[in-house]
Amino acid sequence: MIRIEFLLEEPSMKRFLQNLLPRILPPEYKLGENYFLRPHEGRSDLQKSIPKKIQAFNNSKPPVGIFILHDQDSNDCKKLKNDLITLCTKPGNNVKFMVRIVCRELEAWYLGDMNAIEKAYPAFKAKHYINKAIFRNPDEPQAASELKRIVPGFKKTEAAGLIAPHIDIHNNHSRSFKNFILGLNRFISSHIE
């Protein structure tokens, strides 16, 4: 079994994954034992950290896999992903890695499951927003920016902990979220020994 280091752009993603990953990972995976959540202070801190982590975990026994989650924000998704892959593919690197881009940001994953938002924030009524054109594709940038306006009391890091336990893993409308789940499952299944 591979140990997994999740390299994250910010603390809100750590809080979200603390609540989500136990429902996705095989039961033998335990936070702080064989998977770790490493938040950074934004994009530049994360990007500086990647080559250092790759070097530190190169040829580790037991093997370590690195799973990178980075917000797209206003970047070109494919270019950003290629840039991150380039940071991971230095000569002599034996660390298995996967890069997933959160389109556009974590809030899109919440909007992909408005019922989860309502469970976390009962004053929010999903039925008022679920069929609005702006929210049909939660990965569009304007959708995520609306979240702070439509959810009373929304605070980014707090929301991550409140919403994650209610996210329906199999019925989220965010394509980015679905790609994260598929990628993580593939990463795990290809590295279980």
Q: Tens of pLDDT along 128-153?
A: 999 999 999 999 888 888 888 999 88
Starting at the edge strand found earlier in the chain, the sheet holding 35-39 runs 35-39, 3-8, 64-71, 96-102
3-191: CATH number: 3.40.50
CA-to-CA separations, 100 to 82, 167, 170, in angstroms, rounded? 11, 19, 18
Is residue 173 within 8 A of residue 132, CB to CB? The reply is: no
Q: Tens of pLDDT along 73-132?
A: 888 899 999 999 999 998 888 899 999 999 989 999 999 999 999 999 999 999 999 999
Q: Where along the chain do its domains lie?
A: 3-191
Cβ contacts of 154 within 8 Å, gap of 6 or more: 121, 147, 148
